């Protein structure tokens, strides 16, 4: 029979799992598509270790999101605001792109904050 309360045993199990997670090696920080600052690379590597995906896969997903957003923004750089129907739609599109870019920046900031 085990000694201790169930809460204590659960806490010990969680502590052991956290220690084991920290001891896992970081994935190789190589990616053919991006050249990121080392702080960002380390934060992404920590996230990759936690979720079990490769560094390259995660950075490629982020890169593709950024390229798609950038492509849509470039397509909307010169909208015709004088057109009857395009005025409101074009403004809303630009606002949406700004929020998508802000979300990507927030993801990177969250990764950096999680690293610390």
Number of neighbouring beta carbons within 10 Å of residue 48: 21
SS3 of residue 30 by DSSP? coil
**Averaged pLDDT, 2-29:** 75
Q: Give me 9's structure tokens.
A: 């045993």
Q: Give me 28's structure tokens.
A: 């190789």
Single out the residue of 96, 94, 65, 67 nearest to residue 79, CA to CA. 94
18-52 confidence digits (pLDDT tens): 787 777 776 666 665 557 777 888 888 888 888 88
């Amino acid at each position: 029979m085990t000694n201790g309360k169930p809460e204590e045993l659960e806490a010990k199990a969680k502590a052991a799992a956290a220690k084991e997670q920290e001891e896992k090696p970081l994935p190789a920080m190589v990616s053919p598509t991006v050249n990121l600052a080392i702080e960002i690379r380390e934060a992404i590597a920590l996230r990759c270790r936690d979720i079990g995906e490769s560094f390259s896969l995660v950075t490629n997903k982020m890169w593709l999101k950024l390229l798609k957003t950038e492509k849509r923004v470039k397509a909307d750089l010169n909208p015709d605001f004088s057109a009857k129907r395009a005025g409101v739609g074009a403004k809303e599109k630009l606002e949406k792109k700004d929020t998508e870019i802000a979300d990507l920046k927030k993801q990177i900031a969250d990764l950096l904050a999680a690293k610390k």
